[in-house]
A and B are shown apart, each in its own frame.
Chain A
């Protein structure tokens, strides 16, 4: 929808269909979706549960193949050119997805291990990231011994440790309490901006989308863009209410769904 000189991510008329479990044809999860994201941009994707945000996320990360259309990331197909994207995309999931048999340090090392980074170097990088995320002293703790917030910090460290060009975040703070989520969100934004990353941030909270995104894409089911807004300083200030109202109108949500 937005045109720019050198988009890093490009969806062109992407459709994704899944067969219905009862065998009665296909279910359309993503419908002719087109958008572009520039390098260094943080885009928040907002939509109701089941609107196809996660399918778009999986298409973007190359975990599934589009039925029609094309997904391009740095000019390459993330599904077909699987190995090209090794280390280029970092993902922070809704739940921490830590391996329970690995310590916090070894969980952060995982991505580097897969990239064949020498163990000593991988450990040094992992320790640095754990320290930056306030987890010094917890390197040898197993996930069951960490709190929800600490576990999500480890998963953020794991995503950043491979130094990816693109960060994909699927409602990464939705399972945390508000205070922890707010702290982690601020920390996450600082890290993304400091390191010049491009990020796609999926959320179903309007305030979170406005806080995080340079741009907001609002999805309707099946995933297609129903509304788009650029969040500049003016929007973060006085224009905020107008954008919120517009998003609420598009989503047909009750105003109580907005986080205080």
Chain B
């Protein structure tokens, strides 16, 4: 059997088992604890088909993209000078490691105390929580640059900008794509926490409402929206990666 079909069937089997277990639980427990699967699916579809509700999902998606883009730009601005001048690393590294150790919830509290606007608060939280990972991943990609290719390019005496364009960018692209894939999942979790506390819209805010209404089917349906969003964007990144890295032999490309 085709390997892809086998993988799909294996994944489907585990999801089917989970759904069956949930459905059985719904027969023995009250529906506010274990709502039937069909109710959750119906709510999920309803959100997708209702523009007012779908726009809440898109609002969260935009916040994730903005936060990731901010962290990526800032991370690259930090990583590339460190790559070129390694002495800077000993000054910057402790700061990044310190940032990495701070829980997202602490940043939520800091952001609420420091800033007024909801959107800026969320943007700030997203950036500071994903900045260390982006910086380290871009730095690792920069360091993986081939010394041979660097020497070859330098032999043509390029300007700094041309060197960046013809050698550094293509070298770090695979690492950047990996960084986006990894940080997408973690930022989806962080954005919900940020919205839960400080926002008046978005998936986090909707989850808070479902908790107040004690509506488990609603909570699950909004959670599934976020999972679907992450899956769709992950796939888009994989397609982008396949296209951008088309120069690699087929055996080295992303599945």
Residue numbers in B under 8 Å from A144 (CB-CB): 247-249
Residue of A nearest to B162 (CB): A114
Main secondary structure of the interface of B (DSSP, over half): helix
Tell me the A38-83 residues at the B interface (CB within 8 Å).
61, 63, 82-83
Tell me the A108-122 residues at the B interface (CB within 8 Å).
110-111, 113-115
Taking a contact as CB atoms under 8 Å apart, the answer to whether B155 and A99 are in contact is no
Can you report 15 residue pairs joining A to B where beta carbons are below 8 Å apart? A63-B155, A83-B157, A86-B156, A89-B155, A93-B151, A99-B149, A99-B167, A101-B170, A110-B153, A110-B166, A113-B162, A113-B166, A114-B158, A115-B156, A144-B247
Taking a contact as CB atoms under 8 Å apart, the answer to whether A111 and B156 are in contact is yes
If A86-B157, A91-B155 are given as contacts, then 18 extra A-B residue pairs at C-beta distance below 8 Å, sorted by A number, are: A61-B155, A63-B151, A63-B154, A82-B157, A83-B157, A87-B156, A89-B155, A95-B148, A97-B151, A99-B166, A99-B167, A100-B248, A110-B153, A110-B156, A113-B162, A114-B158, A143-B247, A162-B156
Residue of B nearest to A113 (CB): B166
Residue numbers in A under 8 Å from B156 (CB-CB): 86-87, 110-111, 114-115, 162
Residue numbers in A under 8 Å from B162 (CB-CB): 113-114
Cα(A207)–Cα(B170), bound, Å:
40
Cα(A97)–Cα(B151), bound, Å:
9
Taking a contact as CB atoms under 8 Å apart, the answer to whether A101 and B157 are in contact is no
Is B152 positioned at the interface, with any CB of A under 8 Å from its CB? yes
Taking a contact as CB atoms under 8 Å apart, the answer to whether A97 and B249 are in contact is no
With contacts defined as CB atoms under 8 Å apart, how many contacts are there between chain A and chain B in the complex?
52
Q: How many residues of A contact B (CB 8 A)?
A: 26
Is A85 positioned at the interface, with any CB of B under 8 Å from its CB? yes
Tell me the B194-252 residues at the A interface (CB within 8 Å).
245, 247-249
Is A188 positioned at the interface, with any CB of B under 8 Å from its CB? no
Residue numbers in A under 8 Å from B151 (CB-CB): 63, 93, 97
- Minimal beta-carbon separation of A168 from chain B (angstroms): 8
Residues of B within 8 A of A (CB): 148-149, 151-158, 162, 166-167, 170, 245, 247-249
Residue numbers in A under 8 Å from B155 (CB-CB): 61, 63, 89, 91
Q: Which are the 8 A-B pairs with shortest beta-carbon distances?
A: A97-B152, A86-B157, A114-B156, A142-B247, A91-B155, A114-B158, A101-B247, A101-B170
Cα(A133)–Cα(B27), bound, Å:
76
Residue numbers in A under 8 Å from B166 (CB-CB): 99, 110, 113-114
Cα(A162)–Cα(B245), bound, Å:
28
Residue numbers in B under 8 Å from A114 (CB-CB): 153, 156-158, 162, 166
Cα(A103)–Cα(B156), bound, Å:
18
Taking a contact as CB atoms under 8 Å apart, the answer to whether A93 and B152 are in contact is yes
- Minimal beta-carbon separation of B248 from chain A (angstroms): 7
- Minimal beta-carbon separation of B223 from chain A (angstroms): 39
Taking a contact as CB atoms under 8 Å apart, the answer to whether B247 and A93 are in contact is no
Residue numbers in A under 8 Å from B167 (CB-CB): 99
- Minimal beta-carbon separation of A202 from chain B (angstroms): 14
Residue of B nearest to A88 (CB): B157
Cα(A61)–Cα(B167), bound, Å:
20
Residue numbers in A under 8 Å from B249 (CB-CB): 144
- Minimal beta-carbon separation of B251 from chain A (angstroms): 10
CB-CB contacts of A138-158 with B at 8 A, as 1s and 0s? 000011100000000000000
Known contacts A113-B166, A144-B248, A97 near B149 by CB under 8 Å: yes
Cα(A162)–Cα(B155), bound, Å:
12
Residue of A nearest to B151 (CB): A63
Residue numbers in B under 8 Å from A103 (CB-CB): 247
Tell me the A122-176 residues at the B interface (CB within 8 Å).
142-144, 162
Residue numbers in B under 8 Å from A111 (CB-CB): 156
Taking a contact as CB atoms under 8 Å apart, the answer to whether B157 and A97 are in contact is no
- Minimal beta-carbon separation of B161 from chain A (angstroms): 11
- Minimal beta-carbon separation of B153 from chain A (angstroms): 8
Residue numbers in A under 8 Å from B158 (CB-CB): 114
Residue numbers in B under 8 Å from A61 (CB-CB): 155
- Minimal beta-carbon separation of A156 from chain B (angstroms): 13
Residue of A nearest to B169 (CB): A101
- Minimal beta-carbon separation of A219 from chain B (angstroms): 21
Cα(A111)–Cα(B166), bound, Å:
10
- Minimal beta-carbon separation of A9 from chain B (angstroms): 16
Cα(A110)–Cα(B158), bound, Å:
10
Residue numbers in B under 8 Å from A143 (CB-CB): 247
Residue of B nearest to A85 (CB): B157
Cα(A237)–Cα(B105), bound, Å:
83
- Minimal beta-carbon separation of B146 from chain A (angstroms): 8
Taking a contact as CB atoms under 8 Å apart, the answer to whether A93 and B157 are in contact is no
Cα(A44)–Cα(B153), bound, Å:
24
Residue numbers in B under 8 Å from A113 (CB-CB): 162, 166
- Minimal beta-carbon separation of A79 from chain B (angstroms): 11
